[in-house]
Chains A and B, each alone.
Chain A
Amino acid sequence: MMYTPQKPSSHAGRWNKRHTALCFFCFFCLSCLFFFHPLIPAAQTSEDKEPAIDEIVISADNKHLLLFATVTHCFTDKMLEGVRNGIPLTFRFDIRLNKVHNNWFDSELVEHKINHTLSYNPIKEEYQVAFAEKDRPEVTRSLEEAKSMMADINGLELYSLNKMHIGSPYSLEIKATLVENTFPLSMHSIIPFTSLWNFETDWRTVEFNY
């Protein structure tokens, strides 16, 4: 006698590929949440205002185009506490100088990435600010002075004036970011995907004619 396997009376009687696919889909949707890095919102300043780049001044000396700018509302109490506890703070300024073409895409002339790093010596009780654009760091015992030095770009040499055309339109784009600090004591190995704090300003664009 040949045995004919009895087929289930309904298709849903047994677990089949359709059910597997459904299960996988549900799981996939749920597990996607795992891989979304918790988006830490931009750090709120003590005044609850967004960090921004203000007071952008473009001038020139004999040889170079100079930039002056300030980041405002970029310090939080937590950041400063971290600095006092030995966690250095680094601002990164992304600066691009573009030549504007009216009927074409703008061409990038130069890009600068400038770091300012603030650190604290608890024994000397003094703040040190290191500038990428300067050779020597500045030391001060005043926090306010240190904050000011951190947030300011003073006379950054952007571009050689020889290469610029008088009367031509140019644009300057500038953005400030708080570099994601590495945790001390290799804590980043244990606490992945998080930073204690960060911020990122929007791109500010200034157009000017030379």
Chain B
Amino acid sequence: MLTPDQRKQKQRLTRYVIVFCMLLIPLLAYTQRSLLKGELNLPLSSTILIFALININGLLLLLMLYLILRNLVELVFERKNSILGSRLRVRLVIAFVSLSMIPTIILFLVSLGSVSTAMEYWFNTNVEESLQSSLTLARNLFHETEDQAITLGNHVKQRLEQGDIRIDDTLKLQQRFDTTLSLLPLGAPDALSLITPGLGLIVSAKGKQLAAISLPEIPTEALRKTADSQEPEIITRQVPVGELVQAIMLIQSNEPNQSFLVTTLLIPTEKLILMQSVSKGITDYKQLVMLKAPIKLSMIIMLLIITLLILFGAIWFGFFIARSMTASINKLAEGTQRVANGDLDFTIEKDSNDEMGLLVDSFNSMTSDLLQSNRELAETHQALQQSNLISEQRRRYLETILKHVAAGVIAINEHNEVTTINPFAANLLKINPDLFLHKDFHKALPRSHVSVIENFFHDLLKSGKRSIERHLNLTVRKGETYSLLVNITRLIDEQGRSIGYVIVFDNLTKLEKAQRLAAWQEVARRIAHEIKNPLTPIQLSAQRLRKRYLTTIENDSEIFEQCTGTIISQVDEIKRLVTEFSDFARMPRIKKQQADIIAIATDTLVLYREGHKHISFTLEYDNVPLFSFDAVQLKRVLINLLDNAVSVLAHGGSVSIEIRLHKEEKAVKIILCDNGPGMSDQVRQRLFEPYFSTRKSGTGLGLAIANTIITEHNGLITVRDNEPTGTVFTIELPFQ
């Protein structure tokens, strides 16, 4: 497959060859013509040269024919394969060929007719007849000369035969010949000779015309023929002044040697030339007649060659024009295809400065403009992608922050639609974000919550501030109440327009609980410390008094014993309380060890089963392996919970403990259920607070201690209502 440059070069080469041929052929024809006319003198034989020239002409013609045919075949081939531009080229070539072929063919036919007519005209019978007549005239002249020579010879012969002069009398014979030549000037022969072969020439007389010429010898063959035939023999001889017509006759005599009379007549050179020209003319004409057909053929061939030359030239010119016209169109068509395929980074070469060149220029400027805008678009796109990426990264970053921040974030837009609920908020509020996102909060939330939010917004607007903070106690579900610090902020865009609100709330429940617990622990520690100190002296004093005076007092000894006993017992009671306070204040560190929770629960339940026969205790458990926890403390928790359950089931009931292993959560859950009366929300809220008890006799520290122990284990203790009645305590311990 040729590159465009190679193709161009090849076409250029072909063009040069064709032009060369077209120039060379006329030059060769001119040379041939000159050779024909004999105008050129060349060292080589002109026949060979002409032969060579004709061959070269033929070769050149063939070369042109080949190139043209090749182009034609190529065009047909391209047309068949629907190559771009082939149809237009075919049309152009056909147009050119038709334009040139029709007049050329007409001219050829007319010329052919003219040549034929001319040749017929040249070779008509009149010409031949006239030429023939001229030849006959010349011939007759010659024959007349011959006859005259014979006649004159006979005349002289008769005189010699009858005469009185002897053959061997040369003198007299000479005189007789001279007289004969002078006497008959008009009809006289130009020379008379008497030849005796045995003796050689005897007598010879020449007239004025032959006076300076020496007569050629008579060939013996002619003398022999004359002697044999006994008839006059005519011979002709060329001399400088013309042609001699010699009549040889045998002289009949009694001489022993034969004598021959030669009567010579001269056809002068001028007449001879005329006769020869007549002869040449007729022979030439007749030769032409013979060669009529080949000459006609050669002329037709020459006509044909020239016609073909013209035709090929026209066809080639048609190709050239077609190619030059379609080249630009082809380039444009290819260019549009390239543009359609997305390639804009090219220019089309301009071949001319005409309208096609203008079109090419316009196309080039169009593609360059398109390329420029494409590049700009690409750059813009890239920049946009970049900024999108950054925005996306920022968004993801914000989302990650929102996802992991330990505060709930809810965003509401200017149309009161919830746009964001972060996972903390969703988990805390126990809601499915999908049910609330992009919905008006008035419709999505319960009325109580809606009023809370609306109050917040009202407060915010009223305050005139961008942001306000409120404390809120929120019951999410039955049994779950959180203490939340809610911060509501109004969102304002760059133009100062309100685009919504963002509500951020922190769960203070644990914090509050811990604070409360710490406060209580501090109080308990202080009280225990303050109270414990005087208790011992009081008790000791009472014991001492009892010891000293119980036996000595006779009156009112019962009262004395009662009072001292009361003092000691109550002090014990106070000590117990204080001890509990101390215990609460100084919670011992838990010591985790691998232990069997099932065994602990089982052991604990055994005690209670024995002690509380009116209550049924059940234990269900999974196959929980040993794991790390403080067995003593946990037993304490279980005892605490069981104590509470038992205290509310005074009239019987059931208590069940379930121990479940949740491998995926890595937790062990201990669920303690009773079917007692249950508790109210207020009670539930404060259940794990220290010194909160529903029992008159309780210290209110049991569940607080239990909560502390579980919290120390990094676990969780929760409470909820049982169905239909009762309470469910759930302890969640990490499974390690």
A15 to B79, CA, bound (A): 11
- Contact partners of A190 in chain B: CB under 8 A: 36, 295, 298-299
Contact among B58, B65, B77, B342 with A19 in the assembled complex (CB-CB below 8 Å):
B77
- Contact partners of A194 in chain B: CB under 8 A: 294
CB distance from B610 to the nearest CB of A (A): 92
Interface string of A173-199 (1 = CB under 8 A from B): 000000000111111111110101000
Contact among A34, A123, A182 with B279 in the assembled complex (CB-CB below 8 Å):
A123
Contact A23 B70 (CB under 8 A): yes
- Contact partners of A7 in chain B: CB under 8 A: 1
Contact A191 B294 (CB under 8 A): yes
Contact A19 B279 (CB under 8 A): no
CB distance from B65 to the nearest CB of A (A): 8
Contact A15 B62 (CB under 8 A): no
| Nearest A residue to B32, CB-CB | A189
A19 to B74, CA, bound (A): 8
Contact A86 B36 (CB under 8 A): no
Contact among A13, A14, A86, A125 with B287 in the assembled complex (CB-CB below 8 Å):
A86
Contact B66 A124 (CB under 8 A): no
Q: A24-B70, A85-B287, A191-B297 are contacts. A1–B345 as well, Cβ < 8 Å?
A: yes
Q: Is the CB of B668 closer than 8 A to any CB of chain A? A: no
A19 to B73, CA, bound (A): 9
Q: Is the CB of A103 closer than 8 A to any CB of chain B? A: no
Contact A191 B283 (CB under 8 A): no
Contact B284 A192 (CB under 8 A): no
Contact B138 A123 (CB under 8 A): yes
- Contact partners of B54 in chain A: CB under 8 A: 192
- Contact partners of B276 in chain A: CB under 8 A: 123
Within 8 A of B (CB), among A1-44: 1-3, 7, 12-16, 19-20, 23-24, 27, 31, 34-35
Interface string of B129-146 (1 = CB under 8 A from A): 000000100110010000
Interface string of A122-143 (1 = CB under 8 A from B): 1111000000000000000000
A19 to B2, CA, bound (A): 13
Q: Is the CB of B338 closer than 8 A to any CB of chain A? A: yes
CB distance from A37 to the nearest CB of B (A): 11
Within 8 A of B (CB), among A136-186: 182-186
Q: Is the CB of B30 closer than 8 A to any CB of chain A? A: no
CB distance from A188 to the nearest CB of B (A): 6
Q: Is the CB of B682 closer than 8 A to any CB of chain A? A: no
Number of interface residues of B (CB under 8 A): 51
Contact A186 B58 (CB under 8 A): no
Q: Is the CB of A81 closer than 8 A to any CB of chain B? A: yes
Q: How many A-B residue pairs have CB under 8 A?
A: 110
- Contact partners of A14 in chain B: CB under 8 A: 1, 78, 81, 83
Contact A23 B69 (CB under 8 A): yes
Q: A123-B135, A123-B279, A189-B32 are contacts. A184–B287 as well, Cβ < 8 Å?
A: yes
Contact among B36, B290, B343 with A3 in the assembled complex (CB-CB below 8 Å):
B343
- Contact partners of B299 in chain A: CB under 8 A: 190
Contact among A3, A19, A23, A187 with B345 in the assembled complex (CB-CB below 8 Å):
A3
A125 to B146, CA, bound (A): 13
CB distance from B346 to the nearest CB of A (A): 6
| Nearest B residue to A7, CB-CB | B1
Contact A122 B51 (CB under 8 A): no
Q: Is the CB of A56 closer than 8 A to any CB of chain B? A: no
CB distance from A52 to the nearest CB of B (A): 27
Contact among B35, B65, B70 with A189 in the assembled complex (CB-CB below 8 Å):
B35
Contact A13 B83 (CB under 8 A): yes
- Contact partners of B298 in chain A: CB under 8 A: 190-191
Q: Is the CB of B194 closer than 8 A to any CB of chain A? A: no
CB distance from B371 to the nearest CB of A (A): 9
Q: Is the CB of B280 closer than 8 A to any CB of chain A? A: yes
Contact B47 A13 (CB under 8 A): no
Contact B51 A192 (CB under 8 A): yes
Q: Is the CB of A69 closer than 8 A to any CB of chain B? A: no
Interface string of B298-313 (1 = CB under 8 A from A): 1100000000000000
Interface centre among B74, B77, B284, B291 (most CB of A within 10 A): B291
Q: Is the CB of B192 closer than 8 A to any CB of chain A? A: no
A34 to B301, CA, bound (A): 13
Interface contacts beyond A2-B345, A34-B62: sample of 13 additional A-B pairs, CB < 8 Å, sorted by A = A1-B344, A12-B81, A19-B77, A82-B287, A85-B286, A85-B287, A86-B284, A123-B276, A123-B278, A125-B139, A184-B284, A191-B291, A191-B298
Subset of 11 A-B contacts with CB under 8 Å = A3-B343, A19-B77, A20-B70, A23-B74, A85-B290, A123-B138, A123-B275, A123-B279, A184-B287, A189-B32, A191-B295
Query: A residues touching B (Cβ–Cβ < 8 Å)?
Result: 1-3, 7, 12-16, 19-20, 23-24, 27, 31, 34-35, 81-82, 84-87, 121-125, 182-192, 194, 196
Q: Which 5 A-B pairs have the closest CB atoms?
A: A86-B283, A85-B286, A15-B74, A3-B343, A191-B294
